[in-house]
Amino acid sequence: MSTAAPRPFRFTIQASRLGHPDELRPLARKAEDLGVSTLTVADHLDDQVAPIAAMMAVADATTTLRVGSLVFCNDYRHPVVLAKEAATIDVLSGGRLEFGIGAGWMTEDYEA
């Protein structure tokens, strides 16, 4: 019988409802300084920052912090365009993208 290698415990923060988009980069740098593993953003059509641009800004402002979304709604973008944008972020960030995709759930997003 084999035993799986232990996985390190990691912390992730969700950056949503920022007072202003200018708060994102300092938040990302502070999270990285504190040892947070990943910063994620939401994919909603309300007053939150747009996830693709936000993830790239976070990746650009940091060196080790992983970036991701919780989660991309598969109805908002053409899947080929989303895949290309995600792959580009992954390459430009040095492989730090954590990609999640789902069906979407906020009624308000579909009414927008």
What is the per-residue pLDDT for 1?
Answer: 58
Number of domains into which the chain is organized: 1
Average pLDDT over residues 82-95: 97
Q: What whole-number percentage of the chain has pLDDT above 70?
A: 96
Average pLDDT over residues 24-28: 96
Element (H, E) at 110: helix 107-111
Q: Report how far residue 32's alpha carbon sits from residue 71's, in angstroms, rounded to the nearest whole number.
A: 21
What is the per-residue pLDDT for 84?
Answer: 97
CB atoms within 10 A of CB 64: 10
Average pLDDT over residues 76-83: 93
Q: Is residue 5 part of a domain?
A: no
Least confident residue range of 14-23, 36-45, 76-85: 14-23
* Torsion sign, CA atoms 83, 7, 65, 51: positive
Domain of residue 73: give its range: 12-103
Q: Is residue 110 part of a domain?
A: no
